[in-house]
Amino acid sequence: MKTDPTSTSRRIFVGGASGLLMAAAVSSEAASPAFSAQGARAEAAPPNPVTEYPRPPLPEQKQPWPGLQSKMNPRPDSGEKSYKGSGRLAGRKALITGGDSGIGRAAAIAYAREGADVAINYLPAEEPDAREVVEYIRAAGRHAVAIPGDIKSEEFCRKLVEQAVRELGGLDILVNNAARQVSQDSLLDISTAQFDETFKTNVYAMFWITKAALAHMKPGAAIINTASINAYDPSENIVDYASTKGAIMIFTKALAKQLAPKGIRVNAVAPGPFWTPLQVTGGQPTEDLPEFGKETPMGRPGQPAELAGIYVLLASPESSYSTGQVFAAVGGRGGP
């Protein structure tokens, strides 16, 4: 059988005339000074992830719980300026806890720019940050629902889901993200009240909210839980927090098996050291904050914007065969 010498060109440039036009355009651009020797636009070169974001030393700082992202220095990047959507979640309805700041904020902005309507939950003290997120969602042309309240209450968790479903017109993406973290050098310093608050915020609320949400979720829906590197490589100064993150990881894997036959996927994201209000409100010793993230191979903490794409992927049909998985973003220290 004879090989057509033009077959490769035909596969790349569909149609004779259009192929010639495209070839001419490529030749013209390749001759431009904006192109490197490899033929790629110099301005399109990807940023260096090691130097793209702030590196230690970071300013020492402290805020009362729950803290505000808008008062952090440097202010975390949740993708406010950088995230560009492409309709990957068009028409979806999402509820995100802790959606006012940090990782939840990054997910909320990304979801809206991908075409989803978004409800965010947060504590009343976080209203200034939440108002900013609402404006970002609306600027993307999507419906925003702001629901302040304390998820340590089972009754509120039920009402949270009911209001989100009512105002969004349904629910097919749930992100359990809100968390409590308090650094203590010794187990003897962890009070029963702290232990209870940490578990109720991180584990009980996830259980209550997910249980309420399942009544409204149909095949194709996605649940995404925020675990942590501490689920499998715990730090010695956050024993109670690390224990909750281990519980979240196992909850995710078990529930994924239970819901797979129903067409509902359950996954988790396990971040490493990320620059969020959690750290400056007692999550880390104040004196250690200047070096936060320095121990990673990248030598810096992660920024919430660097997780947005993972949360979008796990919510979208593109990851339809992924369930019961834990996706790490830890700056090079290894994953689950």
Alpha-carbon gap, residue 200 to 186, rounded angstroms: 21
Q: What is the model's pLDDT at position 43?
A: 64
Please give the share of the chain, as a percent, with pLDDT higher than 90.
85
Alpha-carbon gap, residue 84 to 4, rounded angstroms: 41
pTM of the complete model: 0.87
List, for residues 187-235, the tens digit of each pLDDT value.
Answer: 999 999 999 999 999 999 999 999 999 999 999 999 999 999 999 999 9
Burial class of residue 322 in the structure, from the number of CB atoms within 10 Å of its CB (0-12 exposed, 13-18 middle, 19+ buried): middle
Q: Is 241 assigned a catalytic role?
A: yes
Alpha-carbon gap, residue 55 to 79, rounded angstroms: 18
pLDDT at 19 over 60: no
Beta pairing partners, 224: 175, 267
Q: Does domain 62-329 have CATH number 3.40.50.300?
A: no
SS (H, E, C) 82-122: CCCCCCCCCCCEEEEECCCCHHHHHHHHHHHHCCCEEEEEE
Q: For residues 16 and 78, which has the higher predicted lDDT (pLDDT)?
A: 78
Please identify which residue in the block is written with the tokens 């509120």: 156
The residue type found at 38 is Q
Report, as an integer, the average pLDDT of 61-88.
Answer: 97
Residue 267 token pair: 């996954």
The one catalytic residue in 53, 136, 241, 311 is 241
214 Cα distance to chain centroid? 21
List, for residues 43-60, the tens digit of each pLDDT value.
Answer: 678 999 999 999 999 999
pLDDT at 39 over 60: no
Alpha-carbon gap, residue 20 to 227, rounded angstroms: 52
Alpha-carbon gap, residue 82 to 179, rounded angstroms: 25
119 Cα distance to chain centroid? 15
Average pLDDT, the chain: 90
pLDDT at 298 over 70: yes
pLDDT at 105 over 70: yes
